[in-house]
Amino acid sequence: MNKKTWGVICLIGPFILLMVALVGYAIFSFVLVASGFDSTMVGNTIKTILGVVGLFSMVALVPGFIVGLILLLKK
């Protein structure tokens, strides 16, 4: 892949990961509460994994934006 493609991936990737984590967390929480299994070990594990994905996307947001801009602006 060329630099422009990696630049776009670096710019958009953290936002997509954040949206996936937020939507997945909301859907999974709703399903657990509706089914009555809110405090199971599997539920807590999946919520933790989605929380870590959201944390990673927030940490990667600023460096990804900077690297993406650099890659897009280079010739």
Tens-binned pLDDT, residue by residue, of the chain (75 aa): 888 899 999 999 999 999 999 999 999 888 888 887 767 788 888 888 999 999 999 999 999 999 999 999 987
pTM above 0.85, yes or no: no
CA separation for the pair 24, 20 (Å, rounded): 6
Inter-residue contact 71 to 10 (CB < 8 Å): yes
CA separation for the pair 15, 58 (Å, rounded): 8
